[in-house]
Each structure stands twice: as structure tokens, then as C-alpha cells.
Chains A and B, each alone.
Chain A
Amino acid sequence: MADITSLIPAIVIAIPLLASVLILATGKYENLREGVTITATVAMLVSVLLMLPGVLAGNRFTVTLLPMVPGGDFALKVDAFGMVFALVAASLFLLNSFYAIGYMRSLKEHAQTRFFFCLAVAIAAAIGIAFSANLLTLFVFYEILTIITYPLVVHVETPEAMKAGRKYLAYLFIGGIFLLAAVILTYILTGTTDFVAGGFLAGSGSDLILQILFILFLVGFVKAAWMPLHGWLPAAMVAPTPVSAFLHAVAVVTAGVFGIVRIAGWVFGMDLMATLSLGTLLAVIASFTIIVASLFALAEDNLKRRLAYSTVSQLSYILLGVSMLSIAGMTGAMAHIPIHAFLKITLFFVAGAVIVSAGKESISEMKGIGRKMPVTAVMFAVAAIGICGLPPLSGIISKIYLALGAVEGGVPILLLVIIASAVLNAAYFFPIIYTMLFEISDDPAALELVSEPPLTMLVPIILTAGISVLIFFFPSMPFMDLIEIAIAEITHQVMP
């Protein structure tokens, strides 16, 4: 149990930044450029893994890079919870990179250098969020992530995409301003913004101020896409599929929910949140989002948009877990971050594969597509079953914890929300599976040339689905072990 000063966290972030420069420099030579992306991504994942044993042993890696402003140095700290996010981001980014290369080349997309450059900077920002030692550093990376994902969202540059891009920026910029206000208010109240396991705000201001502060944070982390501030996420579906995967699983929404869990566990602390009855507020928002977003998903025929509403709904599981303010609830919330990420990225990968192979985006047009792309369609079914929370997939793990939390916390109505949502999930996913695998196409000739996507896309799909199965059988390694350490930290079972 010690803080170890180490440059590795900084190196992890520096690798993709360096790669982004090289990507610009090698832009003319596609293979070399993609080589840079893959090399950097592997190097990044390896550096993250280097720290894993240390973090599992309860150590934290810290480094202060630069003095910044009053309120926080530019400092990194790798703890167990940050490690969860970093592991998710780094490993999924590797798969997403292969997938993106296959996808972009198959569709002969324009401006690929810009695309891979932005992705590299964005992953650096995401890892930065995971490793931030204080609110200010987190804010810096959070804003960079907002800006650098904009060119990805508007990649196709159609008027529709530009409109979606404006919406995306408007939500996230305004959110960023709320976040900045929250960070500064935190500093004014306490004189620090360093994360402390178990929180550091208690007793620093009146209940009202602290409640307002929490709402500022909540709006600030609009990347968590809770309703009614979710509009940017379905709009951003106009982006190429690897970008959707990046937004929905690798980094962006994950950064939002990560931020909220960070705030709950490391700024407010569960006890203070209970005193301020913030759990109730969060529970209401989360329950509303879970149910309503599922209903929206039911109504969507566009596969990617349906998945987007599914994400909105699933993210609120994490908020719901936090709102229970209990060990089981918090564990469920944290566990749902990697679990949902691996499942959802599989679904997006499949949606993209269908676009590449068959050019279809509407669910109603996908009849019988499973006969032409059996592996892809089966993987979709596997991941969808996982999201619904059925064994033998990872989804059930977080749901069990959440259900436990609901019972433990004495709010059985939340249990009802979870069950209702599971039914709704099944209602919007099973028809897709049925359409893909069991229905027969109205126009078989149109599907004549459809086949499985290129291997760079197919292998990541199989891997992410496979990992989701593995997490079910071996939950402890490494995610649940890390989460256990994180929970122990914030509940002070072990002194930090």
C-alpha cells in the first residue's frame, strides 16, 4: 500500500500523443501511418499492463508533471478505479484500431489521416482522464476529449453531420463550463481539488451549496448522457462506426460515467452524499433515463440509433448503482463500466460490419442477413443477450450487484426498474436477433454479394464478444479485483 512515484503514467499518455504527430507526418503512406497507430496502441496497452500488478497489490503510481494554477498541479495518479477505465480504454482501443483500419479502407473514406490523428489524441485524453490526480487535470483532459472528437463526429461533412456536430459541441461545451464552475467552486470551498478516497468535501459548505455543487458536476459530466441531456449522443450516430464505438465504449461516455463515480467516491464520498440526499436525486434521474431511453430504443428502426438509446439507458445503470450509496451498488456501478463497454462495442462493431458488407443501416432491411454473415450475426446475438443480463455473459454480474444494492439499500422500487429494463432490453434486442438470423430476405438477390466483413473487422468482433464471455467465467481477473480495491479505498476499510 504505497504511492510510487513513476513516469509510466505520463509515458502511457505520451505514446499516443507522439503517435498523433507521426500519423500526421506519415499521412501520405497509408500502411506506414496505420503501422504507427497499431504500434503505439500496443505500446500503450503494454505500459498500462506494466502497472497492473502494482495496482493489484494496492499501490498507486503518481507523478506531478507541472505546476499549473492555484487549485491543482498537472498531476497523474493511477489507482485501482483509474486502472479499470484505462484497461478498458487501452484494450478496446487496440481492437477498435484494427476495426477502424478495416472499416475506413473498405469504405474508402476520405481524410483518413485526420481521422487517425484525432483518434490518437482522443485516446491520450481518455487515459488522461483515467489517471488524473485532481479535478483540474481531469478537466483539462475532459475538454481536450470534447474538442478532438468533434472532427470524428462530423467526419462525413454532410450538412446533417455538421448539424449533429454543432449539437455535440453545444452539449459538451456547455457541460464543460458547468464542470469548470464546479471545479473552481470545489477549490474555493476546500482549497484543493486532489481526489481523496472517501471524499474531502464534508463540512466545507452549507448543504445547499454542496447540493448545487453536485448538480454542477452532474451537468458537467453530460458525457454520461443522462436524460434529458442525452440529445448529443444519438445525433452523433452520423459518424463512421469506429467513431461510434469510440464514443460509446472506448472513451467518451465512459469518461462521463467515470467522472460521476469519481465525484461520488473521491470528492463527495458516499456518507456525505447520503446526508445531502443526493442518492435520491441520482436514483430518480437514473431510473427515468433507464426506462425512457429503452422506450426510445424500441421505436428506432435505425440500428445504430437504437444502439445509441440502449447506451443512454445502460449508462444510467452506473448512475443507479452510485445512487444506492452502498458497497454492492457502487461495485455494480464500477463493474458495469467495463462490462457494458465490451458488450456495446461488439454490437457497434457488428452494426458497422453490416454497413460495410451490405450497406444497410435499418433493422427492417436486415432480414436474413445472418445467413450471409453468420459469425457476425451470432456475435451480435451473444452481446445482445449479455446486455439483457443473461448468463453465460458478463452482463449478469453487474446486474446482480445492482439488485443486491437495491435490496440492501432498502429501495426495492429500484429492483423493479432493473427488472423492467431487462424486459425492455429483451424487447428491443430480440427482434433484431430474430430478423437477422431467422427471417428470410424479401429480396435475396440483393444479398447475393454480401459476405463476412474483412478479418481486421471480424477478429475484433469475435474478441470483444469472447472477452465478455470470459469476464463471466473469470470475473475477478482483473476487473473485479481492481474494483474490490477501489471500494475498500472509498469505504476506508483500508486506510488510503
Chain B
Amino acid sequence: MRIWGWVTDMLKIDNLVFSYGKIQALNGVSFTVKEGEILSIVGANGAGKSTLMKCIAGLLKAQGGEITYDGQELPKSANAVVARGVALVPEGRWIFPNLTVEENLLMGGYLVKDSREGLERAYRMFPRLKERRNQRAGTMSGGEQQMLAIARGLMSNPKVLLLDEPSLGLAPLIVNEVIEYIDEINRQGVTILLVEQNARKALKIAHHACVMEQGRIVRYGTGDEIAEDESVVAAYLGKKA
């Protein structure tokens, strides 16, 4: 929401709590994502990053706390969250391997009345998907599948895109490509919440960033601030090359 030129909060996470039985995954997580920015969340394996994404997307029901989007509480079911304009590209991509590339994209635009425009945009952005539009998605390479997953996430015309580990399992060159695409999507006006283990790259394109540890946000700052924070460098970035 933008009022008289002021950038306001798009997505507000307030004291979110979630546990898998006795294992506490989110321990009172709070942060806000501003309109039009990329907010990166970095953290080790098991810090609760994916759980957080699933709670926002409506796949998991938080046991406590609140998620507000554009000033209103975000619905609790996954399909309603998409309908509100928040789409998740999950970790591991979750493409439909049995469907063709185009059918995957059409599924992404399930709620959109006319998907033609979305398809065109997706093919313009990812020409390789157009070449393979009639190919079964499961037969594509990891990088192509990741591009499909991102393109599919954009088909519903979301205002906020949640990206969970988009570089997972990809070759370094492809990772750079994916990161560039994310930057480009953001420049087109989509607010992005990015969870990434590849912290250096995630911080480079981030306007703001959080560090997550054991189900809590332990640091918040601009991308550069976090990238230069000594403890973050020690834990997640290692020595700069």
C-alpha cells in the first residue's frame, strides 16, 4: 500500500508460532516486508525458514501469531492465500511432472480468467519454456524446472512472491541466472520474500534481510548491513572470496 508516496507494509508477520508436535519450529517470528522490496531471510538448515513460508502460504496453520497482508489478516487456506495475491514457489519446486510445461503454467493461472497474457509473459521471460511447452515437465533439467516453478508462481499475477530456496540443487551458473530473474521480477513491481541458503547471493539483491536462528529472527537490516555483519559473515558467508 502506498499512501502519499510513503511505502507501507505489504506483509506483516507478528509473533508467529508453530511446532511439529514437541519440536518448536517457529518461536515468535516477527518482521515486515515493505511494498516493492526484496526481503531475504538467511539461516542454517532447520532454522524454520521453510516452515515460515508454508505458514504464510496457508499450507501449515500457525498455532499463534498473526499474518497481515495489505492491512488485512491473510486467509488460512492455501487457495485463498493465492486468491489474495500471495504465491509460494516451494522448496523442491513441486512442479507437476506428469503434466506438460504449458499445463503446469495453466495450473499456475488457475484463478485467472484468461491465461493467454500470462503465458505470453512467461514465455517472453523464459524462452526455453516456450521451446519445451509440450514437453512433460518431469523430463526437464533442474534449472529448467526451477524456471518453470517461478514462471508458474507468476501466472496468478501475485503482488507478493514467496520464493523458498530457489537455487537449491542448481549449478552455480544457473543459480546466477535464477537470481537475475528474481531481481527482474522485483523490478516489474512484485514484492519478494526470498528464503535462501545461498546467503551471499540472496543478500546482494535484497533491500532488507533477516537472519533466522532456531525459529527466531535474530537480526534485521538492509541487505548490505547484514552482509557485513561480522557474526553473519562468520556463520553463513565465510570469508569473502
Q: Do A and B bind each other?
A: no
Partner-A contacts on B (CB < 8 A): none
